[in-house]
Amino acid sequence: MSIDLWVDPSWVDEILLGGSESQECLFLGAPVGRGELRRLVAERQRELAAAGAAPGGTVALCLAPSLAFVANLLAAWRIGAQAVLLDHRLTPYETEQALERLAPQVVVSASAPYGGHLRGFHAVQEQARARPGGQPAGNGCVLVQLSSGSTGPSKVIGRTAADLIAELERYKKMDGVPRRGERIVSLASMVHVLGLVGGLMYGLHAGVQVAIPQRMTADGILATVAEGSAPTTLLGVPFHLELLSAVGTPPSLPQLTGMTTGGELVRAQVRDAFVDRYGIRLGNMYGMTEVGVIATDLFGEHRPALEPAPGMTIRERDGELHIAVARSPYLGETDPARWSDGWLHTRDAGTVAPGTGLLRVSGRRDSQVSIGALKVDLTEVEHTLAALPEVAGAVVVHGSVIEAYLVLREPGTLARVEQRLTEQLAAYKRPRVLHVVDQLPRTATGKLVRDPNVLLAVPDLEGKSTR
């Protein structure tokens, strides 16, 4: 591919930075107008160029959600460079490992530490520096992300400007997404696809203000909703539903018109608790870092099924969902088990209904295991556990046997959990080992980690074998 085909920066101005000077496009504690954002981007563009960023080059952003993150991302793209996004919550060791793996030419990071893991955004003073041994892009991708790695090592995923623009157009064609003059209060990380494309980029493209709560607590989120009068949609993941559902009596917020969640499947109990408290539309979105939004049910009309997003072609093969994608989204050698012959293999189990095309996602294919020649869906076991009144959270994995990691609402109730499981699950489905932990590890996007190697490192407070 000719570099000239993808480094042309005009798409940034046309798709993301257009509009009147005074239009408020962002809200991070205070409104940010489009004119101010354009000036910040131009300033960062000069700084990045001074550090060595150039058309066809690579720039890694190791920044917390912030105005600095937005400005540096758009500046890198405006230069014609490839932006590599690394989550600020990675440890220094993890960050260095990722930089060694991805070899960017310029690294942008904070010049001073910032604290507060509950903060939705930060005031960041950034610095750009050249990284010895960095390599130019060598491909047509303007964006490189790492997958969440919730079930194993992260994959390196690249997307072109055309990919991103096509996804933005899919959003604009869907009923139920915010329109010009409305607001998105985004709870999803800007570093990952839902918050990046579905929140930040869509808002800039469609003239929708994107607001980030100062604190990612229930009170902080609701306070941010209250700070604007325009119709407002919350954008987050099931974890945020649980957080907001814990509020006893929410304040009156007539501007809050709906919430859309992506990521994991939403348990029925969590959905019902949220709708009961807030009485607003709750939509669901299915997507992947590799391609963005795939299917939606933004009005809850088809639950638990979803409707393919405009322009998406989806099929089911041997119980797995496949997405039509012209090229492999993975950088480096492509595993044919992940992409082949124009189809992305999602590794998600599901079905596509003949005629309507509605799809149902039933969990990861690697959550289906064989126990004595009987098939067990670990997602079913996990949802059963998580729905028990004694359980605040649960993850179920399979090694030599089925094991469950769970957080109890009250200490000393494990025996009651075992009794309820005996009542609700067939013997071959029940976990043989129960690990009581203080907290379940999550990925940077809020997904529960299901990597057995990570879970083994979590201190076991009250482990018990039921073998």
Mean pLDDT confidence for 213-240: 95
Model pLDDT, residue 3:
37
Model pLDDT, residue 463:
61
Among 128-132, 161-165, 217-221, 454-458, the range scoring the smallest mean pLDDT is 454-458
- Of 64, 16, 23, 277, the C-alpha closest to 167 is 16
Question: Quick check: 93 pLDDT over 70?
Answer: yes
Model pLDDT, residue 180:
96
SS3 (DSSP) at 299: coil
- Of 224, 176, 168, the C-alpha closest to 199 is 168
Residue 378 neighbours by CB under 8 Å, 6+ apart? 363, 367, 368, 369, 396, 397, 398, 402
User: Which tens digit of pLDDT belongs to each residue from 421-439?
Assistant: 999 888 888 999 999 999 9
- Of 129, 118, 114, the C-alpha closest to 64 is 114
Question: Quick check: 275 pLDDT over 60?
Answer: yes
**Considering the chain, what is the average pLDDT of its residues?**
90
Query: Going along 124-249, which residue ranges are E strands?
Result: 126-130, 143-146, 156-159, 183-186, 209-211, 232-236
The token duo for 306 is: 């979803």
Residue the block writes with tokens 């329109």: 179
Query: H helices within 282-373, ranges in order?
Result: none
Residue length, the chain? 467
User: Which tens digit of pLDDT belongs to each residue from 14-67?
Assistant: 999 999 999 999 999 999 999 999 999 999 999 999 999 999 999 999 999 999
Question: Quick check: 112 pLDDT over 90?
Answer: no
Among 147-151, 191-195, 415-419, the range scoring the smallest mean pLDDT is 147-151
Rounded to whole angstroms, the Cα distance separating 434 from 17 reads: 52
Model pLDDT, residue 460:
82
Model pLDDT, residue 6:
47
- Cα 332 to chain center, whole Å? 23
Confidence of residue 76 (pLDDT cuts 50, 70, 90): very high
Q: In what order do the strands lie in the sheet with 232-236?
A: 31-33, 24-27, 209-211, 183-186, 232-236, 256-261, 281-288, 292-297, 307-308
Backbone angles phi, psi at 29, to 5 degrees: 85, -30
Confidence of residue 444 (pLDDT cuts 50, 70, 90): low
Q: Which has the higher per-residue pLDDT, 33 or 336?
A: 33
Model pLDDT, residue 149:
54
Confidence of residue 372 (pLDDT cuts 50, 70, 90): low
Domains of the chain: 32-152 (3.40.50.980), 164-312 (3.40.50.12780), 372-465 (3.30.300.30)
Rounded to whole angstroms, the Cα distance separating 361 from 369 reads: 17
- For residue 265, the tally of other CB atoms under 10 A from its CB is 18
